Amino acid sequence: MKLQQLVIVSAVFVWAAAPSIAIADEVWNSDYGRVVYESDRGKTAIWTYPSGTIFIEGLAGITSNRGIYHGYWVGKSNVKCDTSREDGSGKLSNTWGRFSIRFKVPNFPMPWEARWSYCESEPTFSWNGTPPKQSLLQR
C-alpha cells in the first residue's frame, strides 16, 4: 500500500513539474548567439543571450499556443539611449532597445522570428531563433 502511494505521489510531482521542465529546457540558436529562457518575473519572461538580457511581457508561464509578444533587450551596444532600462542584474542601463517576437509553431520546441531596435525606435532589425536539434525532453 505504501509503495502504491509513493508511486502516485511521484507521478503527481512529475506531472506538476513538467511545465517548468519545458521552460528550463528552452534554448535556441540565434543570429546573436545562444538564447536561454532563464526565468519568469511576474508576467515577464527573462531570456539571456551572450551580450545581454531580453525581457518579454506576457510570455511568463505560457508553454503552448504562443503568439506575438513585445518587450525589450538590454546589452552591449555602442548606441546610447537618452533613457534607461533595467538590465539582467537589476541595474539601469542606457544600452537597450525594443524587442517584438512571433513564435512560428504552437508547441515545443518553438522556433521564433523577432524584430529589434535601438532605444524607442520601431523594431526593424531581424533576429531569428531555432531550437537545437535535440533537447533534453526529446532524449
What are the tens digits of pLDDT across the range 25-64? 799 999 999 999 999 999 999 999 999 999 999 999 999 9
H helix runs in 25-112, sequence order: none
Instruction: Write out the three cell numbers for 56.
Output: 518579454
With contact defined as beta carbons under 8 Å apart, do 69 and 46 qualify?
A: no
Low-confidence residues in the chain, pLDDT < 50? 3, 5-22, 135-139
Q: What percent of the chain has pLDDT over 90?
A: 73
Q: Which residue has the cell 513564435?
A: 103
CA distances from 105 to 46, 91, 121 (A): 20, 34, 27
